[in-house]
Amino acid sequence: MIDLLDLHTHSIASGHAYNTLYEMARSASEKGLRLYGCSEHAPAMPGTCHLYYFSNLKVVPRILYGIPVMMGAELNITDFEGSVDLDDKMIRKLDYAIASIHIQCIARGTISDYTRAYVKAIENPDIQIIGHPDDSRLPVDYDTLAAAAKEHHTLLEVNTSSLSSVSVRVGARENYEKMLERCIHYGTSIIINSDAHVEADVGNHRAAHELLNATDFPEELVVNTSFEKAAAFLPKLKERLLKEPEAFLQGAQR
Ligand SMILES: [Zn+2]
Ligand SMILES: [Zn+2]
């Protein structure tokens, strides 16, 4: 399967990641990715960057090492109403927004609480991707999740860090099997992301590809395979494809 992009990665600015933005982008370029996205943890995550980090993203060059770069954020869903930790105005300035639940940033809840939190985030038009909904410590009803993501045109992530043997998240493989089955049922699109916290992991999507093969997941529902498919969910990518198509073509010729 062609895999052009990785939009969930963290640099040293996230506080528990170990490479700079430039090192991460260089790694993406060297590995042949054609779009690199950086998504630092938003301010509710202990130890991450300040609000000002996100308000100054305009200074970051959107081409690095010959490939297009997008600067997003990984928002924390902080309650069961789907509240997130950057305000709407700031989120709209980002190139894209992932919303995730992190166990340290939300109260203990039930499956219906966490499902409601995700669905409320999915209903938020400024959020394009739901990050790693795969942790048995934060149980979710996958039927409701996949149906809501389809209805509101939001991508569900398959996160390869969750599938790694060193992940703190629990039961990811079994949970993704359930999620993917429901995505096939509803025709819900997914995005594969690495959630890299070191440059070595950028673009490492192997575990997700294996899982998609094992579950006969249809390629047309995976947005990593085409910029046009991804752009249908990511308005800022759509704008850039129209404005500077050569930046994306250049990557193709490398
Ligand atoms: Zn992290
Ligand atoms: Zn996360």
Ligand nearest the Cα of residue 135 is 2
Distance (Å) from CA 185 to ligand 1 centroid: 31
Residues belonging to the chain: 254
- pLDDT tens-digit series, residues 139-182: 999 999 999 999 999 999 999 999 999 999 999 999 999 999 99
Distance (Å) from CA 254 to ligand 2 centroid: 31
Q: What 3-state class would DSSP assign to 103?
A: helix
Return the number of other C-beta atoms located less than 10 Å from residue 59's C-beta. 6
Q: Whole-prediction pTM value? A: 0.97
pLDDT at 251 over 60: no
Q: What are the residues whose beta carbons fall under 8 Å from the beta carbon of 59, sequence distance 6 or more?
A: none
Ligand nearest the Cα of residue 105 is 2
Closest listed residue to residue 7, CA positions, set 33, 36, 47: 36
- Hey, which bits of 81-234 come out as E strands? 97-100, 129-130, 155-159, 190-193
pLDDT at 215 over 90: yes
Q: What 3-state class would DSSP assign to 67?
A: strand
Distance (Å) from CA 62 to ligand 1 centroid: 23
Give the mean pLDDT of the chain: 96
Exposed/middle/buried for residue 177 (C-beta within 10 Å: 0-12, 13-18, 19+): middle
Distance (Å) from CA 245 to ligand 2 centroid: 31
Distance (Å) from CA 177 to ligand 1 centroid: 23
Sign of CA dihedral 191, 42, 45, 26: positive
Identify the helix (H) or strand (E) that includes residue 26: helix 21-30
Exposed/middle/buried for residue 41 (C-beta within 10 Å: 0-12, 13-18, 19+): buried
Ligand nearest the Cα of residue 201 is 1
